[in-house]
Amino acid sequence: MEALVMTIMIMVGMSLMLKLTFHGFSGIATVAVLLAVFIVFSWEYATGMSKTRISDLLQQPSLMLDIAVLIAVDAFCMIAFCFLQAQDILSRSQTIMLTVLKWFPGILIFPILMSLLTALIFSLSGVDFALISLGMAAVLLIAVPLLTYALKSIIPESDIRLELTFLINLMVLALGIVATVNGRTAVTGINEVRLDSLAAILALILSGTIAGIIINNKHLTKQISKLK
C-alpha cells in the first residue's frame, strides 16, 4: 500500500508541474507562494503525526475510500483542464471553467506536502520544527519554478505536455481505483464478475482512447495548416 501511495504522490506532483507549464511566471510564482505558505502554517499539525500513525491510517478502509474520492476529483479536474486547453474555440462558460481549472492547484497536493513535511521533521530530529518548515517552504519557492521551466524546456511542445498530463491523470485515476479495492477487498475475495466495475474500467479505457484520438487529430490539423 505504501508503494502505491508513493506512486500516486509522485504522479500528482508531476501533473501539477505539467499544468504549471501552461502558466506565465506570475501564475507559477503564485502557486509556489501558495504551497510555501501552506507549509509554513501547517508545521504544528505535522508534528502531531508519525510514521506509525500514517501507516495505521493507510490501513483503514474508510480512509482509503475518502482518499480515492479525492483522487478521482483531482484527476477529473485535470482531465477537464486537458480537454478545454486542447480546444481552439471556447464559449464564455468554457473559458471561465478553463481559467478556474488552470488556477486550481488540486486538493491532493496539500496532504502530499504535509506528509513530506512530517517525514522531514522526523528524519531531522533535534532541529527546530518551525525552521524545518521555513526551509521546506524556501525550497518550494525555488524548486516549483525551476521544475516547471525544466519540464517546459525538455518538452517544448505544448500538445505533448497536455497529452502527457492527460495520461498521467488517467493513471492516477486507475491507481485510485486500485487503492480503493485494496482497502475494501484485499482480505475477502469474490468469485463473481462485477459488471459495474468492468463497465467502469471499459468506459475509462474508451474515454482515454477517444481523448487521445481527438488530441492527436487536433495536433495533425495544426501541422497541416502550418504547411499550407
pLDDT at site 189: 46
Calculate what percentage of the chain has a pLDDT beyond 70.
79
> Which has more pLDDT, 26 or 127?
26
Mean pLDDT of 99-119: 88
pLDDT band, very low/low/confident/very high, at 114 (cuts 50, 70, 90) = confident
Cβ proximity of 176 and 71 under 8 Å:
yes
The CA distance from 64 to 44, in Å, is 24
Q: Which of 53, 52, 55 is nearest to 3 (CA)?
A: 55
What does pTM read for this prediction?
A: 0.73
The reported pLDDT for the residue numbered 176 is 77
> Residue 61: what pLDDT?
56
What integer best gives the mean pLDDT of the chain?
80
Domain count of the fold of the chain? 1
pLDDT tens digits, 132-189: 899 999 999 999 999 999 999 999 988 889 989 998 998 888 887 776 665 554 444 4
Region at 126 (left for phi over 0; alpha for psi -120 to 50; beta for the rest): left
State how far the alpha carbon of 88 is from the alpha carbons of 128, 208, 217, in Å.
Answer: 51, 20, 13
Per-residue burial over 6-43, b if 16 or more Cβ lie within 10 Å, else e, is eebbebbbbbbbbbbbbeeeeebeebbebbbebbeebb
pLDDT at residue 64, rounded to an integer: 60
Residue 111, domain extent: 2-227
CA neighbor of 86 nearest in space, from 206, 183, 210: 210
- Rounded mean pLDDT, 50-58: 56
Amino acid at 207: S
